[in-house]
Structure 1
Amino acid sequence: MRPDSRLTDDCRTSLVRATAQCPDLDTLSRLAYCFIRLVRNRGGARPEIWINEAINSPFPPISGFAAGLYGDHGAVFAGRTANWL
């Protein structure tokens, strides 16, 4: 997914319309954008908030992925705080 700043006006408008008409798409889009921010920024909101929301989502692939992250919390924390070259 592209950051909002890299979407064309047409794409942004289409996404807004689609998510307004489909609550599942809205939830999935929000989860995806929040995860991207967590990974790219390695700061900000704590991953536990995203993990809990994703585990309780109606999307088995997302909830399964989030459950795996929850199960390996130590590695997730280390990955967010380690200095990468």
Structure 2
Amino acid sequence: MRPRETLTESQDRRLLNVRLACPDITRACNLARAFADLVRHRRGYLLLAWIRQAEQDAPKPMQNFAGFLRQDLDAVTAGRTLPWSSGVVEGHVNRVKTLKRAMYGRPSFELLRTRVLTQP
């Protein structure tokens, strides 16, 4: 799924042969590239059009993916449009959960609290 311009000549030729051999792969590849472009360049406003196209013309697994995106369309669109991210918060939650698992069976909450507050 790398951009076409980054493929070597032999990779590009093999991709072309596969796309010519299977129309489903061609449609899936085109939709996947469009979705990757939408995500990379924060073009969330194009998401609904992509979902409609995927639901009409994509192989079944991609149709299912488009259906899941449609279920929470506002959140997905905001996530692909707005510059804010909850990544930092999620990282801290992951760190605390990891420490909590490592502390399972240890004697006290105070020890867990100290490790959460002192570990970077």
TM-score by length of 2: 0.63
Q: Deviations over 1:24-73 (max 9, x none)?
A: 11111111111110110112871111101111235222111101111111
Q: Percent identity of the aligned residues?
A: 38
Q: Which residue of 2 aligns with 1:59?
A: 59
Q: Distance in 1 between matches of 2:71 and 2:45?
A: 19
Q: Distance in 2 between matches of 1:84 and 1:8?
A: 35
**Runs of 4+ in structure 1 over 6 Å off:** none
Q: Which residue of 2 aligns with 1:2?
A: 2
The answer to whether the aligner puts 1:69 opposite 2:69 as a matched pair is yes
Q: Distance in 2 between matches of 1:45 and 1:81?
A: 7
Runs of 5+ in structure 1 lacking a partner? Answer: none
Give the counterpart letter for 2:67 in structure 1: A
The answer to whether the aligner puts 1:15 opposite 2:43 as a matched pair is no
What value does the CA root-mean-square deviation take over the aligned residues? 1.9
Larger radius of gyration: 2
Number of aligned residue pairs: give it.
85
Q: Which residue of 1 aligns with 2:39?
A: 39
Runs of 5+ in structure 2 lacking a partner? Answer: 86-120
Q: Which residue of 1 aligns with 2:93?
A: none
Distance 1:45 1:27, change over 3 A: farther
